[in-house]
Structures are given as structure tokens and as C-alpha cells.
Chain A
Amino acid sequence: GQQVMQIPQYQHVQEGEDFTTYCNSSTTLSNIQWYKQRPGGHPVFLIQLVKSGEVKKQKRLTFQFGEAKKNSSLHITATQTTDVGTYFCAGTPYSGGGADGLTFGKGTHLIIQP
């Protein structure tokens, strides 16, 4: 079945430093979604990427979808303490569309030192 690999597992940064997490799928994805989960919280949807080579920005967050639609990245510029949490990429193991459950990457736990 589909596997979604995500690195690094943990990332310690000083506040103000940049952060990047990478996601790689064993199969071509119809689309990829990114979620953030704060400690003790639930996953919250951040963004969805659909097109090959797509780049989307949300303030200090930049999301990319690879040309082959098998990898993706999330980059945060100048991290703040509010960025603490676990960032998951997620793809669908089926054809896309309808109601397909998500296959989550293992997540990257972002720890920020003030």
C-alpha cells in the first residue's frame, strides 16, 4: 500500500530560525494535504496542493508540491513560539476524490527554544 515518509522526525530550532519538513510518497499522489497538531490538540488542516510543481504561501509558511507529485515540503520562515507542534503531510491511498481516508506521514515535531 501507499507509504508516506516524512523527515525529520524532530527538529529543534531557536526562535527566529527557519524550519523545513519534507514528505515523500512511494506512489504518485492526486493531491497532498498538510495538517498541524498542537500538543494535546487535534490535527488542523493547513493547505491542499493539487497541481504538479505547485507552490502556495500562507504568511510565513511556504508549501511546495513536486513536479512528479510524489514529494512535498513545508517551510516556515522566522519561527515563532506559536509554531510549536507536529506537522503532518497526508495523502490518499486511493484514486482521489470521494471520501478517501488520509495516510499521514509520521510527522515532524517542531520544538522551538526561545
Chain B
Amino acid sequence: DTEVTQTPKHLVMGMTNKKSLKCEQHMGHRAMYWYKQKAKKPPELMFVYSYEKLSINESVPSRFSPECPNSSLLNLHLHALQPEDSALYLCASSLYRTTLDQPQHFGDGTRLSIL
């Protein structure tokens, strides 16, 4: 069982739909991340939040919009996605330490299919 909970587990949406992915952790972690993973490929970093503020945006298209309402929640809002956006979307969290990167705890992911 993972301590990072992602919902929904599966999502099928059309290119004109608007949907949101949700991620929650109660480990007191102050860093949260979104990754995108295609089949048989490594996870690719999309966004990093530290202390609820967006700190890294890896040139992700604006059709993906992250939001961090509080220290336990991370959302990814989706709008007008393309078929190539179909992938596994992973949320992760870690402790925040200025001296050393901390291990990341991943959720099970949301498997997204764009029709």
C-alpha cells in the first residue's frame, strides 16, 4: 500500500473534456511532484511544488494546470488534451531538506486515455 493516494486510478476522456487528477499525502511532506510516464519509459518530471508554491515547471503545455490547495493535496487540471497525452500520471512527495534531496514516495498513478 502506498502512502500517496491518487484518484481516479483510470480516466478516459475526450479531447474537449475538462477533468482533474487528485493526489493526497498525510506524511507531512512539503514537496510534491507530478510525473508523466509512457509505457516502458522512465517517469518524466512535469511540476514541482515546495511549500505549496510552484518551484519547477518543466516546460509543460498549458493544457496541464497544476494546483496545490494545501500541504496535503496536489491537483492536476486537464483541458483540451491530445491523444499523445495518454500516459500514466504519477504523483510523488518527499520531505523538504535544504541539504540533501530526499527519497520520493510515489502514488499508484492515474492511467489516462485520451480518445
Contacts and interface: CB of A to CB of B under 8 A. Distances in A.
Contacts of B107: 42
Contact of B2 (A31, A42, A50, A105): A42
Given A42-B90, A42-B108, A98 B96 contact: yes
B45 A102 contact: yes
B103 A48 contact: yes
Interface in A85-109: 88, 92, 96-107, 109
A105 B48 CA distance: 19
Contacts of B40: 109
Contacts of B43: 43, 88, 102, 104
Given A97-B98, A98-B50, A106-B41, A42 B106 contact: yes
A99 B55 contact: yes
B79 interface: no
- Contact-residue bracket for chain B: 20 to 34
Interface in B49-64: 49-50, 55-56, 58
Nearest to A9: B40
B50 A101 contact: no
Contacts of B103: 33, 45, 48
A56 to B, nearest CB: 13
Interface in B31-47: 31, 33, 35, 40-45
Contacts of A102: 43, 45, 104
8 contacts: A30-B101, A41-B108, A42-B90, A42-B109, A50-B100, A96-B101, A98-B55, A103-B45
Given A33-B101, A106-B42, A109-B40, A99 B108 contact: no
A68 interface: no
Q: Find the residue from B43, B45, B56, B58 having the highest chain A CB count within 10 A.
A: B43
A101 B108 contact: no
